[in-house]
Structure 1
Amino acid sequence: MVNRLGRTSLYVFLAVCGFMTVFPILNILAVSFSSSRAIISGEVSLWPVEFNAQAYVQLIRDGQLLAALKNTVIITAAGTALHMLATTPAAYTLSKKRLRGRAFFTFVVLFSMLFGTGLIPLFLLMKQLQLLDSYWAIWLPGLVSAYNLFVMKSFFEGMPAELEESATIDGATDLSIFFRLTLPLSKPILAAISLFYAVALWNTYSNALYFITDSRLLPVTVKLYQMLQMPIDSLLSGAEGASYIQPEGLKAAAIILTVAPILLVYPFLQKHFVKGVLLGSVKG
């Protein structure tokens, strides 16, 4: 009886926490599909009132948010590939005990994890390298995440050494072992770290705000911030059509368009995400 009561209380508590987490998203979704009259009168809660999709139509016609979404897709896709190309070989190399200076290089990576670069030196460096107003200013400062590198390094260290030894006896080179043996067996951790990088790049804000001034290159996070802070009429080129739509509805639609892609992709990678993190965090 006590166990059943405790289990029921736990379920109720988790249900309340889940509802509190989902409620803001459902509310914003409902506002984005509601009429201006319903939004002004405060009738919208969890379900659209006087359903219409004019806010989405106006945003699509205007094109600015879609252009920012395209920029974010480019930043995320290319950036994730660059980050993985840099992190994976580095983690694999540091996982080998025969590497000379392994302790020193590991300390250097750990030091960068504990002490970050100041904003002003980083800005001056980007300016000196002529990387301002380019996506490289977003990619290069965090090309290798120390945390992700250590998680992947731990995964590689947990792989059986006998596999590499047998491949070496068969005449395989280090590159052959890495590409033909290690990487095929590392799909869970590769998917997990790729997801880490992709989410971080999709949500990138500070670097884009500091290093990119060209409005044609802005990611969707900065564009969304501008839409939330400034009058809609000053941001949408189709201000004539926007005058018939409640600004809160346009802002809600912009938020949904921003978060929807990553929310749709995450469930398909969730199993790799959980498995990869567990395998990379606990050495077997």
Structure 2
Amino acid sequence: MQLGLIGLGKMGGNMATRLREKGHDVIGFDYNPEVRDVDSLAELVQRLEAPRIVWLMVPAGEPTAATIRELSGLLEAGDLIIEGGNSHYVDDRKRADELKELGIHYVDAGVSGGVWGRQNGYGIMVGGAPEDIERAKPIFDALTPDSGGGYVHAGGVGAGHFVKMVHNGIEYGMMQAFAEGYELMAASDIVDDVPGTFDSWREGTVVRSWLLDLLVRALEEDPELAGLRGYAQDSGEGRWTVQAAVDHAVPAPVITAALFARFASRQEDSPAMKVIAALRNQFGGHAVTRATEDQA
């Protein structure tokens, strides 16, 4: 299939490469002239054959909103926009209604996999009308793991980003549990090999996971995480998950506590937060704040 892809950063650039490796024709646009195939959104639309499919991988909020506004004046009835960033699901519904008046179709896609997605495949969670999902299915199939898993049509417009939001909230809780376990073992006078303990859990235990694999990788690079400052940013989805839990009267104490722990990380250095910072860097390539000599 032919696809326009807007946003060729850490995620979008690797997605474009994986799609091309699977035989799809990807025309990419980015504000970085070194990585783009066309110089403007107008040229991107001109290069695509109608009916077009355009996938957005730009930061949530105003960057996404501005891009969609510009595209709405360039695309034609029958074209399809796939919004693959971490937008709030409430915004998806508003955008879909506005684009529908122009005859432009809209699908929201939550994407998980970080910087490893090109090699391992991505988790893709989509929301939208069944006919729009079916039209883009070859693209979803190319992006997801070769095993055939990692994909769900979660529901109507907004459902893809809603389940991705919940996914990221769960991720907060899992990362926090590993982090607290690390700090507890490191603080004791009982455990001599904390990195080796985590490594041993990768086989045969009920806590084995990709996050655990990444934690072991981080500890191999820096066993005491001395080069990291215990500061962890939150990208918004954790807050939205907690707000959604409040809106639906669903108790979510673990996710809420994990979010608040990230807030606490900005007040003083913390060994547990060093684990969170290390994991975010491992799976997503997120920038980390290095410890100063005094902090180390």
* Higher normalized contact order (CA 8 Å, seq sep 6+, divided by chain length): 1
Larger radius of gyration: 1
Fold shared per TM-score above 0.5? no
- TM-score for the superposition, normalised by structure 2: 0.33
- TM-score for the superposition, normalised by structure 1: 0.34
| Higher share of residues assigned helix | 1
